[in-house]
Structure 1
Amino acid sequence: MKLPQPPTITHQSPKDFIIDPRENIVIHCEAKGKPHPSFSWTRNGMHLDIDEDPKVLMKPRSGTLVLDISGGERAEEYEGVYQCSAHNELGTAVSNSIILRQSRSPLWSKERISPIIAQKGQSLILHCRPPAGLPPPIIFWMDNSKSNSIVCVSQALNGDLYFSNILPEDSRSDYICYARFPHTQTIQQKQPISVRVLDNKPVDEREPVFMVPSESVKLLKCNASSFPTPAISWVKHNSEIPSGRASFLNFSKTLRITDVSEADAGEYRCIANNHHGSVHHTIRVTVNAAPYWISAPRNLVLAPREMGIITCRAAGHPKPSIRWLMNGLPIESQDPSRSVEGDTLIFSEVQTGSSAVYQCNASNEYGYLLSNAFVNVLAEPPRVLTLPNTVYQVIMSKPALLECVTFGSPLPTITWFKDSMLEGNAYVFHENGTLEIHKSHPSNSGKYTCVARNSLGLSENHVYLEVKEPTRILRPPEYREVQRSRDVVFECKAKHDPSLVPTMTWLKDDGELPDDERFRVDSDSLTITDVTESDAGTYTCIINTTLDQDSASAQLTVVEQPGAPTDLELTDLVARSVQLTWTPGEEHNSRIKKFLIQYEDALHQSGVWHNLTEVPGTKTTAHLKLSPYVHYSFRVLALNNVGFSRPSMPSRQYRTSPAAPDENPTEVKGHGTEHNNLVITWKPLTPQQANGPGLQYKVMWRQQAIETYWTSVSVANVSKFVVSGTPTFVPYEVMVQALNDYGPGPKPGAVIGYSGEDFPSAAPGDVRVLLLNSTLAEVRWSPVPLESVRGRLQGYKVHYHRERSLHQHSSHYNKQSTEIFSPNKTSGKLPDLLPYSIYSLRVTAFNGRGEGPTSAAQRFETPEGVPSAPSFFKVSTFDLDSLMLEWGPPYERNGRLTGYTFKYQTVNSKNDLGLLEELDLPSNQSSFTLHNLPHSTRYKFYISARTQRGAGPMLTEEAVTVLDRGTINALLPPRVVTSSLAPPLHTNVTSLLPPVAPAFGNVSSSMSKDGALISWEYWGTKKLLYVEYIIDKSDEDWHKEKVNGSQFHVLKGLKKGLAYKVRVVARGHDDRAVHHSEELLVKVSAMVSPQVDIATQGWFIGLMSAIALLILILLIICFIKRNKGGKYPVKEKEDAHGDPEIQPMKEDDITFGEYSESDFDEDHKPLKGSRTPSSGTVKRDGSDDSLVDYGDSGDTEFNEDGSFIGQYSGRSDRDARHDSSEPPSPVNAMNSFV
C-alpha cells in the first residue's frame, strides 16, 4: 500500500559499542517510512556534518555511518556518543545514544615476584591483579600440567587463586595467571609465581575459617581454609535456591544463578564443615536492575477526530523515570488534543496533519530504554490485505485459522460470512480479523467471506477452507524377533486424505536409516535383509503429508543361539555321582531356557556323546548320577528360542570303578517258533549298564505248574536262547539275570511264555449261507474244539470266489477273496458280491502258526440286482424334425433285462428344464427315433436299463433339432455333448466331444452361399468375442472379426478351394486372450451350387400334376380289366413294340416295370412298374424316400456332428459317379415320391 507513514528505526548499533581499532568503524542506523526518511547524526550532542570529514561516509538510502580508519587514523579520535535521526514530512524517529569506545588490552606491568614459602596445611592466596581492559578480561590460572582441577584450590571473582590448605605436591615454580581479552582475541600473562611447601612440621588440624568471601549478583563465591579440606554447601534464608537457574561450580565453592530477577534477592548462607566443626557465612544479595520493558509503546493509526493512547511501561530497581519526546524533542507546547499522564499519552479529537513520532525514555542510575512510536492520522477506507481466493487446508478435528488482514482508518470492523453471517460458540473472532474454528468438520469446508467496514466504506475478500481426513497408520509395525542372517519386514499401512500426497519415512533409533543396501524401503514396508546384531533397535515409520503426520514404532531384537558355556568344573567326586558347574555364554537377546548335559564314554564308545540330563536355564550347576566302569567326559549345551548353542569344551575325564550289575535285562519274553521249541529273548544291557568286564546272562526256565527246579545256562554276547524238545503250546516261567566279573545282578522276576504252536487240526462245521440281498450274504459256522486249536486261536477266515454269472454262456472266474473274523465270532458278512452269480466259499480256523483244514465247500447263488448303465448312448440328427437315439446294453446286466426306461425334456436358453416325458422300451431294442419335434429346440435325454429289481443308473445326452429352412441359409449343429441339468436323475455322464476350453462348447461350422457359418456356445464371463481364421499351413497372422452378442458368425470372402483354421476367442479389454475354443478345419469347395427349392418351381408343379393324372388313368384301366376277369398283356406288348419312353431305362432303374415272376395269384399281383421282393416289403435304396436326395446337382454330405452341408443339392451318390450335369429324370423323382 502507498500510504504515508512516519519513520520507524529498524536497525541500530548497540548502546555500548566497543570497536576493534584494526578495522573500519560501522555505526548502523536503518529506518523505514513513506516517504523514505532522510538521516542525520549528532556526536556528543552536536550536529555531525558528514561533509566536513572525508573519512566519514553515509550509505545511500540509509543512515549507517562508515568511519574509514584504514589510512592509519587513530580510532580514539572518533570516540564519543552518537545518535541517529530519521525524518520525513510526518515526523522524526531517533536511535539510542551509542557510546563508541575503542577496545583495549594492556600488558601487565613488569614486576619481580619473590618465591612464596608456605608450611604444609596452611591457607594461601596467589594474587593476579590483571590490568584494566575494555572490556574486562577473563582470568584463569594454569601450570605446565594445563590443569587447575584441585579440590583445595579455587579462583575468586577478582582472579586471585585460593588454597584452603596447601600440600607438598602443590609446590611449583610455574603458577601463571592469564588474562584473555575477548574483543581483540588476545591473551596476556603474568610473571610465573613460585610456591614451595615445607613439610618439616606436624600439621595441626583446625576448624574451617573463611578467606575473604566475595559476592556478585550472578556468582557467589565461598572460600574456606582448614585441614582436612572442608566440604561446602549453600542454603537461602526463608526460600529455596532456584533449582532450574542455579548451579554449583568448583567443588560447590561457587554458586551461579542465571537470569537474575528481583526474586533472587535475599540472604544466602555458605556452610563449610569437616569433622572438626563447621562455620557459615551469610551473603546478602541485593538485585539492582537497569530498566526493562513491561509494555513498550506501539504505533498508533487514528482517523481524524478519533481518540487513542500510547503507553510506555518499564520496570527496574530503582524504579525508572519516564520522559516523553516528540520528533526527538521534549514535549513543551500544550496541545488540546494531547495530554501526558505519567507513562501514558492520551490523544483526542486528532486533526489531519498532526502525525508525529513520539519517544519514550525510561531511565534509572543503571541505564535507560528509548523506544519510538508514531501517531499517524489518516482517513482511509478499508482494504483487505489477505490474498483473494486463498485456500486454507486443515485436518479434521483440528482448529482452522482463516486470516482477514485489513487496513483502514478508522479501524475497520470485521464480519465473516458462510452462506450467512457466522456467529455462535463454534467460532472465535480475533481482534486482528482472523476467524478461528475450534474443531474442523467436513461440513465446515467451503467458501468464506470476510467483510471489513468503517465510516468510509467497506471491502470484502473470499477464502476457501478444505477439511481433510487425518493421516492414520492402520497397521503399525510390530515387534520383531529375528535370527541373525535372516530377513525381517516391518509393515506400516496408512490411510490419508486422497487429495494429499503422502511420504513415508523410516527412522532407526530416532535417526536416519543406515546407508546400507540391505535396507529396502517400499511404499508400505521396510525390509532388512541379512540382519546383523547392529540392526537391533527401534524402527519408526512416519507418514507425512503437507498438513499432518502420524508415526508408529516397533522394536527389532536380533537373536541368535546362545554362546557356548565355558569353565566346566567337576567337584564332589564320589563313586556314583559328581557335581558339574559351568559359566553360561551370551544369551544373544533370547533367554536361555535350559542346559543339556552330555557325556562321552571313552572306554566303551569313544567319540560318541550321549544325553545325560537337562537343567533349567536359571541354574549353572548339576548333580550327576554315574554308572560304574565308565570313563566320563562331560560337555554342556545351552538352549534358547533360536536353538542349541555350540557344545562347550569337554570337562576333564572322570573314571568310575567296576561293580556288579545294578539291573537285569528288560523285555524278557518266551515264545515258540516251532511246535517243539521255546525261544527266550531279552534286551541286552548297554556297556554303561554292565558296570564291569565279563558281562554274561544267566537264562533260567521251567514248565509252569509241572517242574519244580529251574534249568539254567549262561551265555554272553547274545540276546536270545532256544530251548528245544518242548511240548506244544504249554506255559513256561522264564528269567534272565545279568552277571559280570564282579558278581551277579539283582534277582530277576519271572515272566510267562509259551512254547511253539502247531496248525489247527479241525475245520469249522455246520457252515451255512444266508443271502441278505443281491450283493451281501451272511456266513455262519460252528466253532472248532479248543483242543484242536493247538495254540492261541486268532480267528476264522472265509475264502470265497465267484464261479460264474447265471447268464448263459458266461465266463468262469477264479479270483479269490478272503474275509477275516475274530475268534469269538461264529458268523460274518461277505460284502460287494455281484448279483445273479454263483459263489463258492470255505471256512478255516487259524492260530499263530497258520490255518487249519478247510470246511466243505458251500455254493450259493445271488439274486438279481439292478443293471449297470448302458454301455453307450448317442444322439444323431435324423431329419429336420427328428432325432435318432442309439444305445448299447449294460456291461453288467446283474439279471435278466426287462427293458429300458427312456426320458426326455426340453431345455431353453436359460437352461431351464421343461416337462419330463417317459417311455418304456423293450430289452431287445437298441435305437429309437423321435419324430415331429419342433425346429431349433434343445433336448435333454436320459436312458437306463431295467431288471426285475428295478432301473440302474442313467446316462444323459443333449441335442438340438436343426433350424427351420426359412430361418437362415445354414444350419446350427445339434448339441451332442452336455452334462446333466437334472442332478436327481443323473448318475453317469458320457462326454463324446469335451470342449477344449471350459468357456466354449459345441463349436461347429457349415457352408452356405454367403460364406462359412461358425456357431458355438459360450459360458464364460462377459468378454469381447472374436472369430479368428487363417489359411491352413500358412505363416500369416490370424485374421479376426468381432462378434456382436450372438453365438454364430458368418465368415465372408473366403477363397474357394482352400482350407481354413478357425477358432473363437474371448478377449479382455486389454486385448489379451482369456478363453479360446478348439480349432476347426473349414474347407471351402471350388464351386458351390446354389440351393434351389424344387418344390416351389413351376415346372416341377406342372410335372407332378401330369404324372398324377397319368397314374389315375392307369388305375382306372386296371380296375376295368380286373372286373372283366381278363389280363392286360402289358409285358407282351412292351416286348413286341417297346415304349419309346421306357426303352432306354436299365433294369436297375426304378420305373413302371413288368410284373414280378412269382407264384402269386393274379388278383394279388402289384401294378406294373412296382418292384416287390419275396418278403413282401419294399426295399429302400439309400434314402430314396426323401426329397432331399433329389434336388439340383451338388454333393450331399453331413458334418461329423450331424449338421447338413448342401442339404438340397439333390444329387445322389449314383448321379455323382456318372458325373452327369443333366437335370434329374422326373420319372425317378416321381418314383421316389410314390
Structure 2
Amino acid sequence: MPPRSRQRDAKIEGGVGSPNLGARRTIHAEMDSSRPMISLLLIVVAICSSGSMATTAGQGPVFVEEPGDVLHQLEGGGNRHVALRCNASGTPPPTYRWFSNGSEVDLTDGRHSVQAGTLVVATRRKGRAATAYSCLAANRHGAVRSRTALVLPQYLDPFPVEERDPVHVRLHAGLVLVCAPPPHSPGLGLRFRWLFNEFPALVQQDARRYVSQATGDLYVARAEAGDGGRYSCYVTASIMGSHTSVLSSFVSLGLKKDATPAVKLAPHVELSLPPVTRVLAGRDVRLECFALGNPVPEVSWRRVGAELPAGARVTASGAALEMGSARAEHGGTYECEARNAKGSARSSTLLVVNEPPSWVRGIPPAELDIGDRLSWACEARGHPAPFYRWLRDGEALRPGGPVELGDDGTLTISAVDLSHSGMYQCEARNGNGTIYSAAELRVLEYAPHFGSSPDPGTAHVVRGGAATLLCRPRASPHATISWERHGAPILNSSRVFVRERDSSLLILNATEDADGGAYTCVAENARGRANLTLQLHVQEPTRMSRPPTDVTANVSDSVLLPCQASAAAAGMNIAYTWEALGRTLDPGRDAEKFWIASQSEDSGDLTIVKVRLADSGRYTCTARTPIDSVSASATLRVKGPPGPPASVRVMKVTNTSAMLSWKQGTVNNSPIRRYRVEARTPQSRQWASVSTAPAEIEGSAVTAVCEGLVPWTEYEFRVAAVSDVGTSEQSAPSRRIRTNAAPPTVVPVAVSGGGGRPRELTITWNPVHPELRYGDDFGYVVSFRPNSSSSTSTSSLMAPRGRHGGGGRNDDVGGDEDDERGWTQAVVPHAETALYVAELPPDVPPYAAFLVRVGTFNSAGEGPRGPAVIVHSAEALPSAVPESVAAVGASASELDVSWLPVPQEGLHGRLLGYSVSYWPAAAANELSAGTRQNARVSGEATGVRIAGLSATTTYSLTVRVLNGAGAGPPSRTANGTTLKPPPSQVPHNVSAQVTPGSGTTLHWDPVEATENESAVTGYKVLYWLESNGPGVQAVLESERTSAWLNLTSDGVYTVEVRARSPGGDGLPARLTVEVTTENHASALEKMPAKKGDRGSSGHNPLGLASTMVVLAAVLASFLLG
C-alpha cells in the first residue's frame, strides 16, 4: 500500500485521521536572474506503487466503542450481571483481552465471560468495592488499550437501631443535632431532612433552622420553647431508579429554662466553609454556611474582588449559595458573613473548578522509511494540567536508544527501523480523568522506485547557464545514487560533476550545446535497483524585443511604459513584473494606480494613472520564462508645480520698502519662470499682493524689493514660485518686521465739538487709524481762534483735560483760515485721545464761535494741518423770558397757547425750542399742582395747541426758552379756559333716500344742546365703503338737517351723522346703506355709538322702493355721562 506519510526528518503532528500525503513526481527549475549564468534544478521524486512495497496490508486496531462506568444495585438475594462493551475496527479484525485492577481477567472463574467483545460480569451481593476494567484490542499491526471503566455498587444501609442519647440545651442557646448517615456507596446523592416527634411532621427550615445537605446535621441558631421534643434524621436516595429511605433512632431534645434573662450572643459560624472547595466543571456547586447566635444572625454572601457569577442564587434563608454548571470563571474566594446586633463572623473558601483532560491535539498515523525521524506531539487541556505517558501496543513505552520522551507530551525516534512499527497511544491524565490518542506507526522496506510508468523528465537551460539535476527516488532503506550518460558513468570534471556529499545532485556549469541529451539516474539498495532517464535541452536566452523608454509627463497625466520580450523556445510562457519606487509593483494591491497588460496581450506594458511627483524614478521591467529572465529599465520624469521657496528673509527696510531674499524650492522637472510676493499686516490678517522692483521677478532671482509699504507698520512676507506647470504652495511667512517711521500724511476727520461747562471750548475728532500714524510718539496739534475780529483774549487758555465733550456743529469756514494771527495751539501727545477741552477767559461770551483745526505729528516729524471748522464754546442757560403769553380755548379739551419770539441776545446759545408747563388753575401754584404737565415745542415756533384737557376748566401756564444748556426762567403765568362739551344727543330719525343715478339724500332731526353743552353750529356726515374700511372716509359738513351723498358705486356704505359745536363733535348716529346696479338701496337701523366710539351694531334689512327707498332708522339715543 502507498505510504500515508512520507516526510524525512519532519515533525508529524495533527489530529487522528489526518489526510495521507502521497509522493509525486515533479520537475522544478530554479533560475538565477543574472546572466549569462543560468542555473537549472531538475527534481525527480518517486511515486510508489503498492506492488513495490515490502509491507503488510491492513490496519491496526482503532476503538469504535470503549467500556463505560456501570452502576449496579446490591440486593438481598441472587447475583446480578453487568456488561462492558469493547469494540474496535482493524484489518485483520482485532482480538480482545480484559484486565481487572491491572491483572488479566480469568474467563474461567465463573464470574466473567466474553461474548463478541463484550465482557459480562456477575456482581456479588456483598461486594461493595468498585472494580476497574479495561480491554486490550490487538491484531498483527499492534495493540491499543481502552479507557478504564468502573463497576460501582450502589447501596444505602439502614441506620443502627441503638437509641441515641438525649440532648439538653439552655433556652435561646444554639445547638446542632448530628445525623451521622449510615454507610452508602461513594458519590451516592443523599437528601437529608428531620422528623419532629412523629411521621410525617418535618422540621421547617428558615433563618433559625437549617439542615446541611453535606453532613445531614440539623443546625438551630437559637432554641425556642417550641423546639423541645423528639427528632429523627430522614435520609433518602435514588438507587438505579428506585427510591430508598432510612430513618435514624429518635433523639430527645430538652430545653433548660433559667430565671435570668436570655443572654445576647454574637454570631458563631458553626457550619463553616472548607479552606478549599473543588468541583468538576459542569457540576452544580452548593456552598453552605450557618451561624449560631442571639438574635438569629442574618447570612450574606460575596465573592472577593468580583461580583457573584450570573445565575448564582442564595437559598435556605441565606445559608446556601448555589451555582449551576460550574465553569472556570466561577473560581475565586467566596465569603459568607453572619451578622446580628452583637457582632459578625465570617468564613471563606477558595472555589477551584477542575476540568478533566480534553485533547487540543492528538497524534496522526505515520508511515516512514527506515532511517526516517519520527516526531509526535500530543497536547491536552485540563485543570490541574495533565501529565503524559506513552504506550506501544498497550505497554508503557520507556525512553532509551533512539526513543526520547518529553514531559510536554512529545515522542521522538531519531531513526526508525522495522522494530518500531506498532500501535502507539498518548495518555493524558489528571485527577479528574484519563484520555488516549492512538495512531499507528508503520515502518516500510522496499526497493528504489521512480513510479509505475515513469516518463522521461525534460528540462530546458539557456546556453552558458548552470543546471542541477536532482534524483531522489523512494527507497527504504535509502538508496545509493549514481549517474550515467550514453551507458557509461559520468566522470567528475570542473564543469560537470556529482556533488560529493549528496550524490543525488548532478551539476552542469557553463552549459554548451553538446550538454544537451539524456542523463540516467541509477538508484540501488538491498531490496533492488531502479533507474530514470532525464532529458536536458540547451537553447538561446530570452531577449527584450520592445524595452521601456524614458518618459516625461506632467502631474495628473497617465503614461504608458512599454515592455515586450521574446523567447527562443516557441510557446514558452513569459511572465512580466515591474519594480519601482523601491518595491515590486502589485497590480492587485495597486490596481487604482498601476495596470500591467494581461498575459493574453503578449506584453507587459505598464500604465500609470494620474502620475504624481512621487512617481518619478527608475522603472524596471523583468520578463521571466521557466528557464531564465531578462530586464530593461527606463526613467519616468514627472513635471509638476515647483516646491515652495524656503528661508524667506527681510534684508533691508525703509519707511516704504523692504528687500527680501529666499532660497529656491524644488524645480520638479519644470523650470521656475517667475515669483509672486504677498504681504499682510496684523490689522488686516489677509494676504495681498505687493508691488515689487523689478515688477516681474524672474525665475533665477532670489531677491526682490517690496514697494509701496505703509511707514511704521508691521509686515510679514511670503513668496510663491510659478512655472509652466503651475504655481507652488506659498512659502512659510518671513519673520515680522516693521517699516521705518515717516511724518504722518493724514489728519483727523470728523472734527467737531461744543457743549461742556460754561466758559469751555470742547473740541473732538476721530483718532487716526494705527496704520496711518507712520511712527511712534504719535499725537495731535490742536489750533483754534475766535471766528471774528473781536479782541477776545486767549492768553489764559489752559492745557487739555481728559474729559469728553458734547456734540458740536461743523460749519464751513471763510477764506481767512490761513491767516496765522491769533491762533492758539495745544499738543495732545496721545494717539487714542479724541478730545481737547480749553478753558476760556471770563470775557468770552457763551456760545462763541471759534475756528478750529487739528493736525498730527509723530517721532519723524509734523504732519499736515487739517481744514478749519467752526466750533462753538459751551452754552449758558437762557436769560430771555417769553412775553405776551396767552391761552384761548380751542375746544372742550384743547387750548391754543401763543407767545412772542425772544431776542437773540438772551438765548446764550442755540435755540432748541420752548417748554410749556400747564396745570389746573385751582391749584395754588405750578409747584404744588400735582397734575402739572409739560409740552415741548421744537425750533422757533411761537405757539402750540394743548390737547387732552377737561371741558369747561381754567388752566394756568408758563413758557420757558430751551437751549443746549437747559431751560431759561418761566414767563408770567397766563390763564385759559376750555369750552363747554359738545352735545351728548345723537341725531334722531336718520333716513336715507336713494335717487337712481343721482345719489342718496339723508335726513335727520335737529339736535338740541343743553345749557351745559356747546351750542350746535352744524352737522358732520362721514361715509365710506365697508370694503375699503374706515381709513378711507368722505366728510361732508352741513348747517342743515339733511345732506346729499354721492353714493353711485355699488357696495355697502357705512354712514355716520353727528352734531358740530365749538366744543367739538357729538356722538354719531350710524347706519348702513347698500347700493346695487338696480339702483336699490337699503338702510339698516343702527344704535347710537357710545361716547368716543365709532362702534357698529347688527344689520336689520327693510323694504325697498323702485325709485326711492326711505328707511327711517329708529335710533335709541342715550347720553354718556
Q: Which has the higher contact order (CA 8 A, sep 6+)?
A: 2
Q: TM-score, normalised by structure 2?
A: 0.32
Q: TM-score, normalised by structure 1?
A: 0.29
Higher helix share: 1
